[in-house]
Structure 1
Amino acid sequence: MKILIIEDDLNKLQRISELIRERAPDAQVTERKSYQSGLKEALKEHPDLIVLDMSMPTYDISPTEKGGRTRPYAGREILSELKRKHVSSRVVVVTQFESFGEGVDAMTLSQLKAQLRADHAKNYLTTVYYHPSETGWRDNLIAAMSLATKTREQA
Protein backbone atom coordinates (compact mmCIF):
# COMPACT_ATOMS: atom_id res chain seq x y z
CA MET A 1 0.00 0.00 0.00
CA LYS A 2 1.30 3.45 -0.92
CA ILE A 3 0.47 6.19 1.59
CA LEU A 4 1.17 9.89 1.11
CA ILE A 5 1.10 12.25 4.09
CA ILE A 6 0.76 15.95 3.21
CA GLU A 7 1.32 17.95 6.40
CA ASP A 8 3.29 21.11 7.15
CA ASP A 9 3.32 20.96 10.99
CA LEU A 10 6.44 18.93 11.81
CA ASN A 11 5.22 17.62 15.18
CA LYS A 12 1.86 16.56 13.75
CA LEU A 13 3.60 15.02 10.74
CA GLN A 14 5.92 13.01 12.97
CA ARG A 15 3.08 11.68 15.14
CA ILE A 16 0.91 10.74 12.14
CA SER A 17 3.85 9.12 10.37
CA GLU A 18 4.82 7.10 13.45
CA LEU A 19 1.25 5.83 13.83
CA ILE A 20 0.97 4.85 10.18
CA ARG A 21 4.33 3.08 10.15
CA GLU A 22 3.37 1.25 13.36
CA ARG A 23 -0.03 0.15 12.01
CA ALA A 24 1.04 -0.52 8.40
CA PRO A 25 4.72 -1.55 8.58
CA ASP A 26 4.75 -2.84 4.98
CA ALA A 27 3.34 0.39 3.53
CA GLN A 28 5.44 2.67 1.38
CA VAL A 29 5.06 6.03 3.20
CA THR A 30 5.97 9.33 1.58
CA GLU A 31 5.83 12.72 3.31
CA ARG A 32 5.34 16.14 1.74
CA LYS A 33 5.04 19.49 3.52
CA SER A 34 3.13 21.88 1.25
CA TYR A 35 0.35 22.24 -1.29
CA GLN A 36 2.68 22.19 -4.31
CA SER A 37 4.93 19.31 -3.28
CA GLY A 38 1.96 17.27 -2.02
CA LEU A 39 -0.10 17.79 -5.15
CA LYS A 40 2.85 16.97 -7.40
CA GLU A 41 3.49 13.70 -5.52
CA ALA A 42 -0.19 12.74 -5.50
CA LEU A 43 -0.60 13.28 -9.25
CA LYS A 44 2.65 11.48 -10.07
CA GLU A 45 2.36 8.45 -7.77
CA HIS A 46 -1.42 7.92 -7.32
CA PRO A 47 -1.06 6.63 -3.74
CA ASP A 48 -3.68 4.31 -2.31
CA LEU A 49 -4.23 6.62 0.66
CA ILE A 50 -3.52 10.31 1.19
CA VAL A 51 -3.50 11.67 4.74
CA LEU A 52 -4.12 15.34 4.06
CA ASP A 53 -3.90 18.51 6.10
CA MET A 54 -6.42 21.19 5.19
CA SER A 55 -4.46 24.42 5.72
CA MET A 56 -0.84 24.68 4.59
CA PRO A 57 1.65 26.86 2.75
CA THR A 58 1.85 26.89 -1.03
CA TYR A 59 5.51 25.79 -1.09
CA ASP A 60 7.85 23.87 1.21
CA ILE A 61 9.38 26.09 3.88
CA SER A 62 13.18 26.13 3.88
CA PRO A 63 15.99 28.45 4.97
CA THR A 64 15.58 30.32 1.67
CA GLU A 65 11.83 29.87 1.10
CA LYS A 66 9.09 31.20 3.38
CA GLY A 67 6.45 28.93 1.87
CA GLY A 68 4.47 31.49 -0.09
CA ARG A 69 0.94 32.31 1.00
CA THR A 70 -0.94 30.11 3.42
CA ARG A 71 -3.83 28.33 1.75
CA PRO A 72 -6.67 27.83 4.26
CA TYR A 73 -8.33 25.30 1.93
CA ALA A 74 -5.23 23.65 0.41
CA GLY A 75 -6.60 20.19 1.17
CA ARG A 76 -9.87 20.94 -0.60
CA GLU A 77 -7.89 22.27 -3.57
CA ILE A 78 -5.87 19.05 -3.73
CA LEU A 79 -9.09 17.01 -3.64
CA SER A 80 -10.41 19.11 -6.54
CA GLU A 81 -7.27 18.40 -8.58
CA LEU A 82 -7.49 14.67 -7.84
CA LYS A 83 -11.09 14.72 -9.08
CA ARG A 84 -10.20 16.76 -12.17
CA LYS A 85 -7.33 14.41 -13.08
CA HIS A 86 -9.35 11.25 -12.28
CA VAL A 87 -6.94 10.07 -9.59
CA SER A 88 -8.68 7.47 -7.43
CA SER A 89 -6.60 7.87 -4.25
CA ARG A 90 -8.67 7.71 -1.05
CA VAL A 91 -8.24 10.74 1.22
CA VAL A 92 -8.44 11.24 4.97
CA VAL A 93 -8.26 14.86 6.10
CA VAL A 94 -6.48 15.32 9.44
CA THR A 95 -6.86 18.81 10.86
CA GLN A 96 -6.41 20.56 14.18
CA PHE A 97 -8.64 23.48 13.27
CA GLU A 98 -12.36 23.83 13.95
CA SER A 99 -12.90 26.71 11.53
CA PHE A 100 -11.37 27.71 8.21
CA GLY A 101 -11.06 30.80 6.03
CA GLU A 102 -12.17 34.33 6.81
CA GLY A 103 -15.11 36.58 6.05
CA VAL A 104 -17.46 35.26 3.39
CA ASP A 105 -15.16 32.26 2.81
CA ALA A 106 -15.27 31.14 6.46
CA MET A 107 -16.74 27.77 7.38
CA THR A 108 -16.81 25.45 10.34
CA LEU A 109 -15.30 21.98 10.38
CA SER A 110 -18.82 20.48 10.15
CA GLN A 111 -19.63 22.59 7.10
CA LEU A 112 -16.33 21.67 5.47
CA LYS A 113 -16.89 17.94 6.07
CA ALA A 114 -20.34 18.15 4.48
CA GLN A 115 -18.94 19.98 1.48
CA LEU A 116 -16.12 17.46 1.01
CA ARG A 117 -18.58 14.54 1.21
CA ALA A 118 -20.84 16.18 -1.38
CA ASP A 119 -18.15 17.37 -3.81
CA HIS A 120 -15.51 14.64 -3.52
CA ALA A 121 -17.37 11.42 -2.69
CA LYS A 122 -15.08 9.22 -4.83
CA ASN A 123 -11.91 10.29 -2.99
CA TYR A 124 -12.91 11.63 0.41
CA LEU A 125 -13.30 9.10 3.22
CA THR A 126 -13.52 11.15 6.41
CA THR A 127 -12.00 13.89 8.53
CA VAL A 128 -10.05 13.23 11.70
CA TYR A 129 -9.85 16.03 14.25
CA TYR A 130 -6.30 16.10 15.60
CA HIS A 131 -5.52 17.39 19.07
CA PRO A 132 -1.90 16.93 20.20
CA SER A 133 -2.71 16.35 23.88
CA GLU A 134 -5.46 13.78 23.23
CA THR A 135 -5.33 10.27 21.79
CA GLY A 136 -8.76 9.91 20.17
CA TRP A 137 -7.38 11.07 16.83
CA ARG A 138 -5.20 7.93 16.76
CA ASP A 139 -8.20 5.59 16.95
CA ASN A 140 -10.05 7.64 14.34
CA LEU A 141 -7.09 7.57 11.95
CA ILE A 142 -6.65 3.81 12.44
CA ALA A 143 -10.35 3.30 11.63
CA ALA A 144 -10.00 5.50 8.52
CA MET A 145 -6.95 3.50 7.38
CA SER A 146 -8.96 0.31 7.78
CA LEU A 147 -11.81 1.80 5.75
CA ALA A 148 -9.35 2.84 3.01
CA THR A 149 -7.99 -0.70 2.86
CA LYS A 150 -11.49 -2.20 2.60
CA THR A 151 -12.60 0.18 -0.15
CA ARG A 152 -9.36 -0.46 -2.06
CA GLU A 153 -9.93 -4.23 -1.89
CA GLN A 154 -13.51 -3.81 -3.14
CA ALA A 155 -12.43 -1.72 -6.14
Structure 2
Amino acid sequence: MVSSLEAAVLIGVAGLATLFSMFVVRHRDMVYSSAALALVGLSTAAVVGLLGFPLVAVFLVIVYVGAAVMFIIVSVSMLGGGGREEWDEWRGLAAAAAAFSTVTLLGFIGGLWQLYTPPQPVNLETIALVLTRDLYPVVIVLAAGLAATILEGIAIARRR
Protein backbone atom coordinates (compact mmCIF):
# COMPACT_ATOMS: atom_id res chain seq x y z
CA MET A 1 0.00 0.00 0.00
CA VAL A 2 1.31 3.42 -0.95
CA SER A 3 1.23 6.15 1.68
CA SER A 4 -0.11 9.59 0.89
CA LEU A 5 3.40 11.05 1.17
CA GLU A 6 4.79 8.54 -1.36
CA ALA A 7 1.85 9.25 -3.67
CA ALA A 8 2.48 13.01 -3.39
CA VAL A 9 6.18 12.56 -4.18
CA LEU A 10 5.31 10.31 -7.14
CA ILE A 11 2.83 12.84 -8.52
CA GLY A 12 5.33 15.67 -8.00
CA VAL A 13 8.13 13.85 -9.81
CA ALA A 14 5.75 12.89 -12.63
CA GLY A 15 4.77 16.56 -12.90
CA LEU A 16 8.44 17.52 -13.15
CA ALA A 17 8.90 14.96 -15.93
CA THR A 18 6.00 16.55 -17.79
CA LEU A 19 7.39 20.07 -17.37
CA PHE A 20 10.87 19.03 -18.51
CA SER A 21 9.43 17.26 -21.54
CA MET A 22 7.51 20.40 -22.51
CA PHE A 23 10.78 22.33 -22.21
CA VAL A 24 12.50 19.80 -24.52
CA VAL A 25 9.89 20.30 -27.20
CA ARG A 26 9.46 24.06 -26.94
CA HIS A 27 13.04 25.30 -26.48
CA ARG A 28 14.88 26.32 -29.63
CA ASP A 29 18.44 25.84 -28.40
CA MET A 30 19.53 22.25 -28.93
CA VAL A 31 22.01 22.22 -26.04
CA TYR A 32 19.43 23.35 -23.48
CA SER A 33 16.86 21.03 -24.98
CA SER A 34 19.29 18.12 -24.66
CA ALA A 35 20.02 19.02 -21.04
CA ALA A 36 16.29 19.06 -20.38
CA LEU A 37 16.08 15.64 -22.01
CA ALA A 38 18.53 14.38 -19.39
CA LEU A 39 16.26 15.82 -16.70
CA VAL A 40 13.28 14.07 -18.31
CA GLY A 41 15.22 10.82 -18.11
CA LEU A 42 16.18 11.37 -14.49
CA SER A 43 12.64 12.22 -13.43
CA THR A 44 11.20 9.31 -15.40
CA ALA A 45 13.72 7.02 -13.76
CA ALA A 46 12.68 8.41 -10.38
CA VAL A 47 9.04 7.59 -11.14
CA VAL A 48 9.94 4.07 -12.25
CA GLY A 49 12.13 3.61 -9.17
CA LEU A 50 9.36 4.84 -6.88
CA LEU A 51 6.99 2.35 -8.50
CA GLY A 52 9.31 -0.44 -7.40
CA PHE A 53 11.52 -1.16 -10.41
CA PRO A 54 14.98 0.05 -9.40
CA LEU A 55 16.91 -1.92 -12.03
CA VAL A 56 14.83 -0.45 -14.84
CA ALA A 57 15.34 2.99 -13.28
CA VAL A 58 19.12 2.53 -13.36
CA PHE A 59 19.02 1.58 -17.05
CA LEU A 60 16.81 4.60 -17.79
CA VAL A 61 19.35 6.90 -16.14
CA ILE A 62 22.21 5.38 -18.11
CA VAL A 63 20.40 5.55 -21.45
CA TYR A 64 18.78 8.99 -21.08
CA VAL A 65 21.80 10.75 -19.66
CA GLY A 66 24.05 9.09 -22.25
CA ALA A 67 21.70 10.12 -25.04
CA ALA A 68 21.46 13.69 -23.76
CA VAL A 69 25.24 14.02 -23.52
CA MET A 70 25.55 12.63 -27.03
CA PHE A 71 22.96 15.13 -28.33
CA ILE A 72 24.87 17.96 -26.69
CA ILE A 73 28.15 16.81 -28.23
CA VAL A 74 26.59 16.43 -31.68
CA SER A 75 24.78 19.78 -31.57
CA VAL A 76 27.85 21.69 -30.38
CA SER A 77 30.04 19.93 -32.96
CA MET A 78 27.65 20.58 -35.83
CA LEU A 79 26.56 24.09 -34.95
CA GLY A 80 29.62 25.34 -33.12
CA GLY A 81 29.62 27.75 -30.23
CA GLY A 82 28.61 30.78 -32.27
CA GLY A 83 26.11 32.12 -29.74
CA ARG A 84 27.22 34.44 -26.99
CA GLU A 85 25.88 33.69 -23.56
CA GLU A 86 25.77 36.07 -20.66
CA TRP A 87 27.34 34.97 -17.42
CA ASP A 88 25.60 36.02 -14.25
CA GLU A 89 27.11 34.27 -11.24
CA TRP A 90 24.51 35.69 -8.84
CA ARG A 91 21.62 34.22 -10.81
CA GLY A 92 23.18 30.75 -10.67
CA LEU A 93 23.94 31.12 -6.97
CA ALA A 94 20.37 32.24 -6.28
CA ALA A 95 18.97 29.28 -8.25
CA ALA A 96 21.22 26.84 -6.36
CA ALA A 97 20.23 28.36 -3.00
CA ALA A 98 16.53 28.19 -3.91
CA ALA A 99 16.83 24.56 -5.01
CA PHE A 100 18.74 23.61 -1.86
CA SER A 101 16.26 25.41 0.37
CA THR A 102 13.29 23.78 -1.33
CA VAL A 103 14.72 20.28 -1.08
CA THR A 104 15.72 20.82 2.55
CA LEU A 105 12.33 22.24 3.53
CA LEU A 106 10.44 19.46 1.75
CA GLY A 107 12.67 16.91 3.43
CA PHE A 108 12.09 18.23 6.93
CA ILE A 109 8.46 19.27 6.58
CA GLY A 110 7.41 16.16 4.70
CA GLY A 111 9.40 13.84 6.94
CA LEU A 112 11.29 12.40 3.99
CA TRP A 113 14.36 11.96 6.20
CA GLN A 114 12.44 9.21 8.02
CA LEU A 115 12.17 7.21 4.79
CA TYR A 116 15.95 6.89 4.58
CA THR A 117 17.33 3.44 5.11
CA PRO A 118 21.06 2.89 5.37
CA PRO A 119 22.64 1.06 2.44
CA GLN A 120 22.65 -2.69 2.69
CA PRO A 121 25.63 -4.84 1.75
CA VAL A 122 25.59 -5.83 -1.89
CA ASN A 123 26.29 -9.36 -3.02
CA LEU A 124 28.01 -8.93 -6.37
CA GLU A 125 27.69 -12.62 -7.22
CA THR A 126 23.91 -12.38 -7.04
CA ILE A 127 23.87 -9.26 -9.22
CA ALA A 128 26.17 -10.90 -11.78
CA LEU A 129 23.99 -14.01 -11.81
CA VAL A 130 20.81 -11.99 -12.39
CA LEU A 131 22.45 -9.94 -15.15
CA THR A 132 23.92 -12.94 -16.96
CA ARG A 133 21.00 -15.33 -16.48
CA ASP A 134 17.78 -13.32 -16.41
CA LEU A 135 18.71 -10.08 -18.17
CA TYR A 136 21.22 -11.31 -20.73
CA PRO A 137 19.48 -9.83 -23.84
CA VAL A 138 19.02 -6.47 -22.10
CA VAL A 139 22.69 -6.34 -21.11
CA ILE A 140 23.79 -7.15 -24.68
CA VAL A 141 21.60 -4.43 -26.20
CA LEU A 142 22.68 -1.92 -23.56
CA ALA A 143 26.37 -2.73 -24.04
CA ALA A 144 26.06 -2.41 -27.83
CA GLY A 145 24.24 0.91 -27.50
CA LEU A 146 26.77 2.34 -25.06
CA ALA A 147 29.68 1.15 -27.20
CA ALA A 148 28.15 2.77 -30.28
CA THR A 149 27.65 6.02 -28.35
CA ILE A 150 31.25 6.05 -27.17
CA LEU A 151 32.57 5.33 -30.67
CA GLU A 152 30.37 8.06 -32.15
CA GLY A 153 31.60 10.55 -29.55
CA ILE A 154 35.22 9.68 -30.31
CA ALA A 155 34.62 10.01 -34.05
CA ILE A 156 32.98 13.41 -33.62
CA ALA A 157 35.72 14.62 -31.29
CA ARG A 158 38.44 13.58 -33.78
CA ARG A 159 36.76 15.54 -36.60
CA ARG A 160 36.74 18.76 -34.57
TM bucket normalised to smaller: under 0.3
Higher alpha-carbon Rg:
2
TM-score, L = length of structure 1: 0.23
TM-score, L = length of structure 2: 0.22
* Structure having the larger proportion of residues in helix: 2
* Structure having the larger proportion of residues in strand: 1
